[in-house]
Amino acid sequence: MRLPCSAGLALAAVLASPAFAQGRSTTGSEDDVHSGGPIVVTAPYVRSLDILGNVSVLEGDELARDIRGQIGDTLTRQPGVSATSFAPGASRPVLRGFSGERVRVLTDGIGSIDVSNTSADHAVTIDPLTVERIEILRGPAVLLFGSQAIGGAVNLFDRRIPRRMPSDHVHIDAIGGYATAANDRNAGASADVAIGPQIVAHVDASWRKSGDARTGGYVNAPGIRHDLLHLAEHAVEDGHADEAAELTAAANARGKIADTASETWTAAGGLSLINDGGQLGISVSYFDSKYGVPSRPDTSHHDHDEDEHDEDEDGHGHEHGEGPVTIGLQQWRADLRGEVEMGGGFFDKLRLRAGYADYKHTEYEGGEVGTVFTNRGVEGRLELAQADRGGWRGASGVQYSHRDFDAVGAEAFVPRNLTDQFALFTLQEWHTGPLGLEAAARFETTNVRAPMLGIARGFDTFSGALGASYDLAEGVKIGVSGARAVRAPSAEELFSNGPHIATQSFEVGNPGLRREASWGTEASLRIQSDAINLTLAAYYNWFDDFIFSNATGDEEDELPVFQYYQRDARVWGFEAEASARLAQIGGFNIVGDVTADMTRAKIKGGQYVPRIPALRVLGGLEAQGERIDARAEVEWTDDQTRIAPFETATKGFTLVNASISWRPLPEAKNLTLSLAANNIFDVEARRHASFTKDYVPLTGRDIRVTARASF
C-alpha cells in the first residue's frame, strides 16, 4: 500500500517541520563510523550549507566520547561552541558568544519546548544518551529555523520516529558508561522492530545518576575566597570563633562541589508507516530529571549586634538560608513527522514536522516548594522541496509556534505570558560550474502578551541573506555571504520583574523594547583533500538595538538590579578547524588536528557584552587503526579580561585529555569500548560563559569508561 498524497495534504493542516536529516541506514556497513561517507546535513535540499551556513557534525564514537549529561557540555570541543555550564544538570550551548534567546536547541528541526532559554539554571529536555547525531549550525541559513537562531542552532536527531525499515527486522543501539569525577553512571538503549512490511515500531529508554562533581582546585574563585577570608577576620574580631572557622573552611574548600548531583531518566515509543509513496510517523516521550542548583557563598557582612536584636524581637535567630535548592523537572512530548513524494514535478517532496509538549518544573528550597514553572507549547512546519532543475533547487514553507508560559512562587520573576509566531520562509540554491549562489528569506510575525499586566506587543520582521561560493580548484572553495537578521524581543526581555536567585540578580524587563536587527557578513575558505581538511570562517555583525541586561547600581530584595536595555553593538570573530594525515605507521594513520575560535562583542560606547568566551585553541594527535584508535589532545583557553561592569575576569586554563577506543569485532565494527582520561593534570578551570563560574568550576580529573553497540 502506498501512502497517498491526500494523506499528506490532510496532515498539512497540522503545520510541521524542516527536512529531516538523512541519517545512516541500519545496515551494519553504513553504521560503521569509520566508513568515511559524506556529511549530509539537516536539509537535503541544501548541499552542505557551505554558502550561507557553517556546520559541524558530531556522531558515532566521537559523540560517545564527548557525551555528558547536558547538551551544552557535550559540544564544547566543537569550533565556536562554549556552554553555560550552570551546573552538571543544566548546561545550554553558547554559539559564537550567543546563548538564550539567540540560540535554538532543536530535536529533528523542532524546538525543545522547555524553558531552558529563560534562565541558565533550567535544563534542556533532551538527553544526549538518546541522540545518534548532532548538527551545530551557524551563519545566516539557520534563520530558516526561526529568528531566535540569530546566533546559531543545535539540531539533535534520534530514531524515535523511524525513517527506514530495519534491514534484519530488528535493530538495537545501546550505550553505557561510568565516569569518576561525579560517580556518573549512565545507560541508554533503543530498538527498531519491523512489525509488518511497511510498519516500524521504536522504543528507547535512558538513565543517568551522578553524585556531587569534584573539581581539581579551589571550589570558589579568588574574589569570593578573598571576601570569605575578610569576613572571617571580622568574625574573629567580634569574638565569633565558630563562624570564623566556617568562613575559612568555605574559602579553602577544594574537591567536591556541593549541590551538583543529578538523576535523569527518559522513555519513548514511536511508530512509522514507510513505503515508496513516503512515510508518516508519530512518537510519545517522557523526560524526568532532578538536579542540584549550587548557591553562591554569602559574602555580605552581617552585623552580629543586629542579628541578636532580631532574635530578641521575633524569638528566633536570623535565617541564613532555607536549605539547598533542587529542581524537579518533567516533560511529556508528542511528535509527528511525514514525507510525501510529489511525483517528479516542480516540487519533489512535501515534508511535515510537528511537536507538542507539556512541561513543568518545581524549584525546591530545602524541602519546601519555591517556584513552579510550566510551559505548554506546540511548534510545526510544512515545507515543499523543489526538484533539482538544471542546478537550481530549493525549498519554501510555513512555520507556526505557540507558547503558554507561567511561573508561580517566590521566584516568579516573569508573569504568565503567551507567544505566537507565524513565518514564511524560502531558501533557493543555484549552481553552474564552479559558481554557486544561494538566497534565503524569512518573514515572521510575533505576538507576545502578558494578560495579568494588560500588555500585548506585536512585531513583524523580515530577514534575508545572499551568498556566493567559487571552486578555485578541486577541493578548494571560497565563500562570502551577507545577511540582514531581525529578532523580536522575548517575553522575558519584555516582562521580567522580580528576584532571580539563580543569576543573583533582580531582573527588570522593558515592555517598550523594539526589534533587534543586525547586518552581518561572513567569509569562508574550505580545503578538502586526502591529505588535509581545512575550514576557516570569519564573521562580523553590526547590531541595531541590541538587547542586553545591564546592572543599574540599585538593589532590590538584597540583590543587584539588572535592567534590559537596547543599544547598538558589534560582534566579530573567527572559527578554524584543520586536520592533516601526517604519516602511516604500521596499520595506523597518524592524524593531527587543531580547532580554534574567538569572539569579541562590544556595546556602542565601549562596554563589553557579558559572558563572552575567551580565545580557545585545541590541538590533537590521533592514531587511527582498523580496530584501535588512540588520541591525545591539549586544550588551551586564554584569560578573559574583556568584561562587562559588575562581571569578574576569568583566568585561562590548559586541559590535557587522552582516549583510546577498541572495536573487538573487526568484521562488523558495531561494538566499541572506550577509555578516556579528561583533565589529566587535575587543573582548576572555569568557563567565562557561565553565570556560576566563580563557584562552580569545571570538573577535575575524570576517567570515563564507555561501551557502545549497534546491531
The cell numbers describing 458, all together, are: 506585536
pLDDT score at 7: 34
- Sequence-ordered list of residues with C-beta below 8 angstroms from that of 314, at least 6 positions apart, any chain: none
Residue 202 lies in a domain: yes
The cell numbers describing 332, all together, are: 511529556
Residue 226 lies in a domain: no
What is the rounded distance in angstroms from the CA atom of residue 227 to the CA atom of residue 234? 11
Angle at 550 between CA 547 and CA 556, to 5 degrees: 125
What is the rounded distance in angstroms from the CA atom of residue 590 to the CA atom of residue 630? 10
Residue 247 lies in a domain: no
pLDDT score at 99: 92
Confidence class for position 52, pLDDT limits 50, 70, 90: low
Residue 238 lies in a domain: no
Q: Which residues of 488-525 are buried (b: 16+ CB within 10 A; e: fewer)?
A: bbbbbbbbbebbbbbbebbbbbbbebebbbbebbbebe
How many domains does the structure of the chain reveal?
Answer: 1
Q: Judge whether residue 633 has pLDDT over 60.
A: yes
How are beta strands 532-556 and 516-528 bridged, if at all? antiparallel
Percent of the chain with pLDDT over 90: 71
- pLDDT tens across 386-436, in order? 888 888 988 899 999 999 999 998 788 999 999 999 999 998 889 899 999
DSSP letter for each residue of 15-74: ----PPP----SSHHHH-TTS-PPP--S-TTSSSSTTT-EEEEEEHHHHHHH--SSHHHH
Query: Alpha-carbon dihedral of residues 37, 42, 46, 51, nearest 10 degrees?
Result: -90
DSSP code for 611: T
Angle at 573 between CA 149 and CA 437, to 5 degrees: 60
The cell numbers describing 228, all together, are: 570569605
Angle between helices 241-251 and 222-237 (to 10 degrees): 170
- pLDDT tens across 515-547, in order? 999 999 999 999 999 889 999 999 999 999 999
Residue at grid coordinates 528541526: 109
Nearest to 55 by CA among 84, 79, 24: 79
Range of the domain at 370: 5-219+257-310+321-380+391-710
pTM for the whole thing? 0.90
How are beta strands 671-678 and 702-710 bridged, if at all? antiparallel
Residue 252 lies in a domain: no
pLDDT score at 213: 97
- pLDDT tens across 160-207, in order? 999 999 988 999 999 999 999 999 999 999 999 999 999 999 999 999
- pLDDT tens across 203-260, in order? 999 999 999 999 999 999 999 999 999 999 999 998 999 999 999 999 999 999 999 9
The cell numbers describing 196, all together, are: 509488518
The cell numbers describing 28, all together, are: 551494519
The residue-averaged pLDDT of 282-309 equals 81
What is the rounded distance in angstroms from the CA atom of residue 593 to the CA atom of residue 559? 46
Rg (CA), the chain: 26
Residue 231 lies in a domain: no
- Sequence-ordered list of residues with C-beta below 8 angstroms from that of 517, at least 6 positions apart, any chain: 461, 484, 485, 486, 487, 543, 544, 545
* Distances, alpha carbon 23 to alpha carbons 38, 263, 338, in Å: 11, 29, 16
Terminal CA-CA length for the chain? 29
Nearest to 153 by CA among 182, 128, 117, 184: 117
Confidence class for position 53, pLDDT limits 50, 70, 90: low
> How many contiguous H segments (helices) and E segments (strands) does the chain have?
8, 33
Residue 662, class by beta-carbon neighbours within 10 Å (0-12 exposed, 13-18 middle, 19+ buried)?
Answer: middle
What is the rounded distance in angstroms from the CA atom of residue 695 to the CA atom of residue 163? 44
The cell numbers describing 438, all together, are: 544561494
Coil vs helix vs strand at 237: helix
CATH of the domain at 207: 2.40.170.20
DSSP code for 593: E
Residue 236 lies in a domain: no
pLDDT score at 104: 93
Residue 73 lies in a domain: yes
The cell numbers describing 590, all together, are: 597518524
Per this entry, what is the length of the chain?
A: 711
